[in-house]
């Protein structure tokens, strides 16, 4: 039941960023799209941090027993999300440059074909797949790694580790400004390399190295995701919302497929072998990035 509910929740949630990225591309100034997208991704980072920390605090272990448990943790995070949704509905300005039209299957298929025919967009979709696969793999299996020997960290400490998301809040907004100033290509390629460097830093069984590596990886990931997602919206000549939806489709496929595959590597060789898998993903992202131009 829990898996079924989470699947339905994910299906509903997936529409939010697709529409949001199209909204930013249509309503904002073209010269400021990178900055706007960077700030939007920075909000993603704050949300990811808040969910992890709130859930970790509400499910805290006391005396060897779970305090609130996962049910209380889930309810607490959901309450925060509900409050944010209400504020969003009240504060979001109405669209000025969007003309609604009834959905038509023929037009939808035509726009999807157009966005799939652009090889540049396909490479951006692949970058999204590899980036999210990297991010999910690193954070998901890091919790297992830190709760096992030799670290054996408690739930609260592991939850606090996710404050490294703050690095993504800063890096995504900075990357957006840099992309507007210097172009998307150099910022994207450097961001992917930074992500790879952070992943490599986590290989030793050293808590300081793991912490520093996750900060670097998080900064690089959110910077790269910010630039790539903004590039999709700017590049799409037909139905930018559909182009953004395709990017997010591959992005979340990276989460589910590569994230699951990462578990196989973790089960076989622990943290070091997981890092090798992640670096292979990032090699794909870097190769796709270097083949792009503004």
Complete domains list, the chain, with CATH:
2-88+117-290 (1.20.1250.20)
Please report which confidence band the pLDDT of residue 186 belongs to, taking 50, 70 and 90 as the band edges.
very high
**Exposure class string for 185-205: b at 16+ Cβ within 10 A, else e:** bebbbbbbbbbbebbbbbbee
Tell me what pLDDT residue 92 has: 86
Q: What is the pLDDT of residue 188?
A: 96
Instruction: Note the pLDDT tens digit of each residue in 137-173.
Output: 999 898 899 988 888 888 778 877 778 888 988 898 8
Share of the chain above pLDDT 90, in %: 40
Alpha-helical segments (H) within 202-257: 207-235, 240-253
Q: How far does Cα 131 stand from its chain's mean position?
A: 8
When pLDDT is cut at 50, 70 and 90, the band that residue 121 belongs to is very high
Quote the CA–CA distance of 194 and 170 in Å, as a whole number: 14
Measured in residues, the chain has a length of 294
Q: What pLDDT does residue 294 have? A: 54
Each residue's pLDDT tens digit, 55-68? 877 876 555 444 57
Whether pLDDT at 50 is above 70: yes
Q: How confident is the model over 94-120, as pLDDT tens digits? A: 888 877 777 777 877 888 888 888 899
pTM: 0.80
Alpha carbon distance 214, 77 (integer Å): 23
Contacts of the segment 61-65: beta carbons below 8 A, 24+ positions apart: 61/154, 61/155, 61/156
Six-digit token string for 138: 């690193």
CA distances from 292 to 37, 122, 232, 235 (A): 19, 11, 12, 11
> What is the rounded distance in angstroms from the CA atom of residue 149 to the CA atom of residue 271?
12
Cis preceding-peptide flag for 9 (omega within 30 of 0): no
**Is residue 16 over pLDDT 80?**
yes
Top mean pLDDT of 24-38, 195-209, 224-238 is at: 195-209
């Amino acid at each position: 039941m829990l898996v079924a509910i989470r699947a339905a929740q994910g299906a509903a949630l997936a529409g939010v960023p697709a529409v949001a990225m199209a909204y930013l591309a249509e309503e904002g100034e073209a010269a400021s799209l990178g900055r706007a997208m960077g700030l939007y991704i920075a909000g993603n980072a704050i949300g990811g941090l808040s969910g992890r920390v709130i859930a970790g605090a509400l499910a805290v272990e006391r005396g060897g027993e779970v305090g609130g448990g996962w049910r209380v943790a889930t309810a607490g995070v959901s309450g925060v999300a509900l409050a944010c949704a209400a504020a969003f509905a009240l504060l979001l300005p109405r669209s000025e440059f969007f003309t609604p039209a009834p959905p038509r299957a023929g037009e939808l298929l035509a726009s999807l074909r157009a966005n799939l025919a652009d090889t540049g967009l396909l490479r951006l979709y692949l970058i999204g797949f590899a980036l999210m696969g990297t991010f999910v793999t690193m954070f998901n299996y890091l919790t297992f790694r830190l709760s096992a020997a030799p670290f054996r960290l408690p739930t609260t400490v592991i939850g606090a580790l996710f404050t490294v998301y703050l690095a993504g809040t800063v890096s995504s907004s900075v990357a957006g400004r840099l992309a507007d100033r210097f172009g998307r290509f150099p910022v994207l390629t450097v961001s992917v390399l930074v992500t790879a460097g952070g992943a490599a830093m986590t290989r030793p069984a050293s808590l300081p190295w793991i912490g520093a590596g996750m900060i670097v990886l998080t900064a690089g990931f959110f910077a790269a995701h910010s630039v790539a997602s903004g590039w999709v919206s700017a590049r799409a000549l037909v139905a930018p919302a559909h182009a953004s939806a395709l990017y997010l489709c591959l992005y979340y496929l990276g989460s589910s497929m590569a994230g699951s595959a990462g578990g196989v590597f973790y089960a076989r060789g622990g943290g070091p072998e997981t890092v090798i898998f992640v670096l292979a993903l990032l090699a794909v992202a870097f190769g796709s990035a270097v083949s792009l131009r503004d």
